[in-house]
Amino acid sequence: MKLLKGKKIADKILTVLEKKIKKLFQKPCLAVILVGNDLASDLYIRLKKKAAKKIGIKFQLFRFSVKVKEVEIIQKIKKLNADKKISGIIVQLPLPGNLNTQRIINALDPRKDVDGFHPENIKLFLEKQARFFPVFPQAIMEILKSSRAKLKGKKSLVIANSKIFGETMVVALENKRIKASYFLFKELKNKRDLIKKTEIIVSAIGCPGFLRGEMLKKGALVVDGGITKKEKKILGDIDYSSAKKIVSFLTPVPGGVGPVTIACLLRNTYKAAEEASLKRLSRKCKA
């Protein structure tokens, strides 16, 4: 069994990006909105900041108290949308329950939505006209590519926590000619046979250890995108000790999809900066 370590894949992406960023006249800048005191979000933000700084992407954090009003966040987003120095904006999720996540995401300028969460960007991606490849499915595809296994024509199955993730992940797989379908966790009962027969499994539901070795196909390639915090541990969806005897490839949690997602976010930020500068240039030429 090969353990697909995310850090190695992330480092490769970051090294390429660092070289490209060195050649830019204006360095990209990522703005991050963080609300409340969620410890996991604090950790993700620290990791994003460290990776960004290392490769020359500026990082601006806007932290709000848990009591903030939705309109204040939306006002801040509008200011950042209009600020030419800001290349990309993300809203760290989850937001506290009193805030409407969708309304806040909708306020982002889709050209700065480097997570790829805005409905306009999801629609473009599903129509195969992507502006930004959503970071989480993008990271999973990088991991599958790095397995060096033959993927074209194989069957895959996505166990998803939401319809949006299931649909985007299926399109991402199909774009690489991998047959794909998804189901939501609540439909698991009827899907056990299908899981057992499938060569590529992507799981992202946040249910620690629910996928055990005996549920999986011998030699399967398994990407564990589940992240659950339990006491001080971070746990994935796959039961590692039983799965490692059955599958041929597996991603660890932590240290699997997580670091690659950060690298993909920074790649989208670079892309946003590059496109904004091309647009400015073409406007100047026309003037």
Catalytic one among 48, 112, 154, 217?
Answer: 48
Catalytic, out of 38, 92, 112, 154: 92
- Which span (18-26, 84-92, 238-246, 279-287) binds ligand GUN, by CB under 6 A? 84-92
CA-only gyration radius of the chain, Å:
19
Taking the complex as a whole, how short is the minimal distance between the CB of residue 93 and ligand GUN, in angstroms? Answer: 4
Residue 73 touching ligand GUN (CB under 6 A) = no
| Degrees to nearest 5, angle at CA 235 with 157 and 229 | 120
Beta carbons of 34 and 62 less than 8 angstroms apart:
yes
Q: How many CA atoms lie within 13 A of 98 on its CB side?
A: 10
Instruction: List binders of ligand GUN among 104-143 (CB under 6 A).
Output: 115, 135-136
> What does the block give as tokens for 21?
């960023």
Q: Is-contact 136 213, C-beta < 8 A?
A: no
Q: Which is nearer to ligand GUN, 179 or 185 (CB)?
A: 185
Q: Is 169 in the site for ligand GUN (CB under 6 A)?
A: no
Q: Which of residues 237-266 bind ligand GUN (CB under 6 A)?
A: 261
Minimum CB separation of residue 50 from ligand GUN in Å reads 16
Are 224 and 237 spatial neighbours (Cβ–Cβ below 8 Å)? yes
C-alpha torsion 164→257→103→122, nearest 10: -40
> Has 60 been annotated as catalytic?
no
129 is annotated as an active-site residue: no
Q: Catalytic: 193? A: no
Q: What residues line the site for ligand GUN (CB under 6 A)?
A: 90-93, 115, 135-136, 261
Annotated catalytic residues are 48, 92, 115
